């Protein structure tokens, strides 16, 4: 995944788990990067029009950023379901975050459709809802 896509997706996920703006340290932690790296990327994404960045406050997705990140999130969700439900990976969210931007949306859609159509009932029930967040996974 391109580095910028990872950061965009991480910001999107963080915005759904907390009120924006999201501090760069929070984004850095999700990606296992340094806060300085996250700050530099938020500045770059701001120049591209994907985020609004305020030093010491954090970043917020713009409409264009939200649209791009939502597309990435669909791929992320399909991968996360596959990694968790089929492969049984504990770090399904991290793995999905790492590669979501490398798959074409059509491939992710076919993966999700394939999982839903061929999965046993137990997995199909799991795939009907998004995978749990990190905190929900840790509670299991």
**pLDDT of the residue at 85:** 84
| 96-120 pLDDT per residue, tens | 988 988 888 889 889 888 888 766 5
For the chain, give the mean pLDDT: 85
The helix or strand, by DSSP H or E, that contains position 80, with its residue range, turns out to be helix 63-81
Composition of the chain by helix, strand, coil, percent to 5: 70, 5, 25
Q: Is the pTM of this model over 0.75?
A: yes
Q: Using the predicted structure, report yes or no on whether residue 122 has a pLDDT greater than 90.
A: no
Q: Using the predicted structure, report yes or no on whether residue 126 has a pLDDT greater than 90.
A: no
Q: Using the predicted structure, report yes or no on whether residue 41 has a pLDDT greater than 80.
A: yes
The helix or strand, by DSSP H or E, that contains position 61, with its residue range, turns out to be strand 58-61
């Amino acid at each position: 995944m391109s580095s910028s896509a990872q950061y965009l997706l991480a910001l999107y996920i963080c915005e759904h788990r907390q009120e924006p703006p999201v501090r760069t340290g929070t984004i850095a932690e999700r990606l296992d990067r340094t806060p300085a790296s996250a700050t530099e990327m938020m500045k770059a994404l701001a120049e591209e029009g994907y985020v609004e960045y305020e030093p010491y406050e954090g970043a917020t997705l713009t409409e264009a950023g939200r649209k791009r990140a939502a597309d990435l999130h669909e791929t992320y969700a399909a991968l996360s379901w596959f990694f968790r439900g089929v492969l049984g990976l504990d770090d399904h969210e991290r793995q999905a975050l790492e590669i979501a931007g490398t798959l074409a949306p059509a491939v992710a859609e076919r993966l999700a459709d394939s999982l839903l159509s061929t999965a046993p009932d137990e997995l199909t029930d799991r795939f009907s809802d998004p995978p749990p967040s990190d905190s929900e996974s840790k509670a299991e």
